[in-house]
Structure formats: C-alpha cells, structure tokens
Structure 1
Amino acid sequence: MAIRYLAVLLLMGILRGGGPACLAAEPAKMRPYSGIGVVSFPASSANRDELPVHLYREPGLSRVGTLDSSKMSGNDWIFGNSTHGVRLIVMARKGDWLRVSYDDAGREAWIDPQRRGRFLPWDRFLKSRMSRMLPGLRKQYYQLFQEPERNPLVVLTPRHPFRVLRLDKEWAMVVSDQAGVGWLRWLDEDGRLTIGLDL
C-alpha cells in the first residue's frame, strides 16, 4: 500500500511538469515569527572580539551558550547578507534584555546586547526601507490593496520592491512603482513575516 502511494505521488510530480528534477528542489524555508522587532549588531562589531553574545535561559540566569558572527546568519534571506551587520528577530523584552530567535530552527534565548546591539521595533525598523515580498507565500499575501482588505490594486511578486511607509497591526502601507500607495499584509495569521528587506 505504501509503495503504491509513493508511486502515485511520484507520478503526480512528473505530470505537473517538474519532471524528476522537482523531487530534488530545495524545500521552502520556514518563515520566522515576527516577534516585536529587530536587534542589529553593526558589521564592525560582528567582525571584532565584541562578539560572542552570551545566550541565557532567563535574563542573567543559566547561560546556555554563545553566539558569534558565524552562527548568526539564519535570517540572511530576510535581512540580506551580513555585510551590513548581523540582525536577529526579537521576540520579547525585559528591561535591557532581549529574547531573540537566533537560528533557522527558531530556537530562542535571552541576550544582553549592552552597547553592541541596537533594538528597533518593527515600525521603526521597516519605515522607509526598501522591502519585498518573501517567496513561496500563498497568493493572497501578494495582493496589494487600496485599503486593508478592500479594493485590490495589483498582485506583487518577490521581484517587485516597495518602500514601507507605516505599519498598522498586520498591515503595511507601502509605495510601489507598480501601483503607487497601497496596503499589504506584512504578517500572516500566525504572526510570521511575509516581507523582507530588498537585497
């Protein structure tokens, strides 16, 4: 029974036009949860002995490891390569302590960035930056609206950059060469990112 099922799946993949090569395609990356913002470590500190950053289970208690610049590249496909520095998604904040997602698997730990890292909430981080839609989203997320969920304008692709003007909950007001000013979802229903920086 299992062999029959696998044979049907293989046949379906071939018939869709991908041929056997479609079976070797790289799986889509899991989009990270948005959290509350981003902490940026400048390229100058990422290359010096100012890193590693210590990871803690709770703020200041129970160190669980360290991060250095070679281990903090999991979100390059969202933020761009590390020539601009290292960026981590911040999930929570307690005083100066930040709970960050530090790898592709979504593992989290607390860090104390001290003067090395700069935290920005999403609205300040994304404002006026050139951004783009992430690849592999459902079609509904590529839709640009005149108002949130009203009056569709155009469908964007990951190749069409836009500038973020402001955020309003899960919606972003953007300006695009294709359609002027419009609204799109920058978060999905689960709180995962749908946009990244234009690389």
Structure 2
Amino acid sequence: MRPRFSLLPIAVVLSLLLPLLSTTPLHAARMRPYAGIGVMLLPLSPSLVQEAYGELPLYDQPALGRLGTLSSATLPRLDWILGLAPRNVPVMVMARRGEWLRVTYDDAGREGWVRPRWRNAFETWDELFADRNVRPLPGLQERYYRLFSRPEGEPLATLASRPLFRVGMVDGDWLRVVGAQDAAGWLRWRDEDGRMLVGLEPEQGVSGER
C-alpha cells in the first residue's frame, strides 16, 4: 500500500515562496546612474552639516516651487562608483543655471534645483577625471570593454577583465587612458543614454586588476 502524503504543507510552502520568487530577481544589478554634467559635493564638515543637510532647499525650478529640503537619507548611493574623499557626499548634477544646480535627489531619478552656499560645491567631469584612475564598471555589454584608436574609431583591444586606467584627457563621452604595460587608447565612459560606464578609483598607482 502506497503511503499517502498531505498536499497541505506543500501548498503552504508554495504560497510562501511564490511571492518571493516573483519579486526578487536572481541576478539583481545596480542601476548605473545618469552622469549629467558633473557632481555636487556635499561637505561633511561640522560647520556645514546643518546647511548641507538641514537647510538646503530643493525647488522644482530655481527659487520656484519648493519641494522640500535635500536629504542625505534619500540621496542615491554613489560611493560604489565615485571614489571620492569620505569628507564629501557626491550628488549627480544634471544641469546648471548660474549658482543653481539641478540634482538627482532620490533613487527614482527625481530631480530638483538647489543653490549650494559653500566653495567648490560643483565639479565638472573634466575636473573630476583629471589625472584620476578609472575602471570599467561590472556587468556591461561586451562592446564597452574595448579600447579604441580614437573616439568612435576602430577597436584596438578587447579588455579581458576590468583593468585600471589613468585618465589623460576627456573628449565628450570618451577618455584618453593609459594602463599597465603602457596600454593606451580611448575608453568610453558614458553610454548613449548618458549613464556611467566607468567608476573613479581612490588615488593609487596604475597596477593590478580586480
């Protein structure tokens, strides 16, 4: 006589697992941020914390349509892509109008205008990339892991991993880079949609790979 198995426990288990399987991707990837025109650096200096986090008004348009205040709690995390000094919190800047900056202030990509009052609040990508080390981000399409002879030119080499490069020059969406063993060429740092393709590394020598 065959043993009888109750279907109730199986049904209960499936009812618990199905919502998790339907909402949790097997290979969750971080969304690459839009690069915009540069980065606003929120200082962590004690004398500026209140101004930076508590009293920096956020507007729909410069000085019009108050949205609230810029909050560090809702800012997109960029530390995995921008190896900047820990004394600053980076915020992507999409546009500039005089002293006003249009920034991305949450993970949903919503934007608003702020008017920072401290010095050196904004750096363009040309300034950020100057003599810095960069590395291609993980999980990109194969075509972005290539060095080129010139922007939009012929590919020189396909990168087998994610090597470290030193930036020599910025030209639009492209970086003139030099890597280990003097490997040199042009690397695309921003894709056709305006999203980041490389991450800035903390200052160090050009050596080794991850």
Task: Find the residue that maps to 1:132 and give its secondary structure.
Answer: strand
Q: 1-side partners of 2:46 and 2:82: how far apart?
A: 17
Specify the alignment match of 2:51 in structure 1. 50
How many residues are treated as equivalent by the alignment?
A: 177
Q: 1-side partners of 2:51 and 2:106: how far apart?
A: 20
Task: Find the residue that maps to 1:140 and give its secondary structure.
Answer: helix
Q: 2-side partners of 1:155 and 1:88: how far apart?
A: 30
Structure 1 residues 55-64 or 67-76, which shifts more?
Answer: 67-76
Report how far residue 181 of structure 1 moved: 2.0
- CA 1:35/1:189 → structure 2, altered by over 3 Å: closer, same or farther? same
Residue 65 (1) aligns with residue 68 (2): yes
In structure 1, which of residues 127, 132, 141 is the aligned counterpart of residue 144 of structure 2?
141
Q: 2-side partners of 1:49 and 1:164: how far apart?
A: 35
Report how far residue 184 of structure 1 moved: 0.8
Letter in 1 for 2:42: F
Q: Percent identity?
A: 45
Residue 118 (1) aligns with residue 114 (2): no
Task: Give a deviation string over 1:147-192, Cα, whole Å, max 9, x none.
Answer: 233241341533x221111111111101111552211111111121
Task: Give a deviation string over 1:46-104, Cα, whole Å, max 9, x none.
Answer: 97323222211010112112223333352222114772411111111111000011222
- CA 1:100/1:157 → structure 2, altered by over 3 Å: closer, same or farther? farther
Specify the alignment match of 1:101 in structure 2. 104
Task: Find the residue that maps to 1:124 and give its secondary structure.
Answer: helix
Q: Which protein has the bigger helix share?
A: 1
TM-score (norm: length of structure 1): 0.78
Q: Is the 8 A contact 1:36 1:122 kept in 2?
A: yes
- CA 1:78/1:37 → structure 2, altered by over 3 Å: closer, same or farther? same
Residue 166 (1) aligns with residue 169 (2): yes
- CA 1:164/1:151 → structure 2, altered by over 3 Å: closer, same or farther? same
CA RMSD, 1 decimal: 2.5
Specify the alignment match of 1:16 in structure 2. none
After the TM superposition, which segments of 4 or more aligned residues of structure 1 sit over 4 Å from their partners? none
Instruction: In structure 2, list runs of 5 or more residues that go unmatched.
Output: 1-20, 203-210
Q: 2-side partners of 1:195 and 1:108: how far apart?
A: 23
Instruction: In structure 1, list runs of 5 or more residues that go unmatched.
Output: 1-19
- CA 1:43/1:63 → structure 2, altered by over 3 Å: closer, same or farther? same
Q: 2-side partners of 1:46 and 1:134: how far apart?
A: 35
- CA 1:151/1:133 → structure 2, altered by over 3 Å: closer, same or farther? closer
Task: Find the residue that maps to 1:77 and give its secondary structure.
Answer: coil
- CA 1:26/1:42 → structure 2, altered by over 3 Å: closer, same or farther? farther
Report how far residue 117 of structure 1 moved: 5.4
Q: Which protein has the bigger strand share?
A: 1
Task: Give a deviation string over 1:119-168, Cα, whole Å, max 9, x none.
Answer: 1111111111111111111011011123233241341533x221111111
Letter in 2 for 1:56: Y
Q: Tell me which structure has the larger Cα radius of gyration.
A: 2
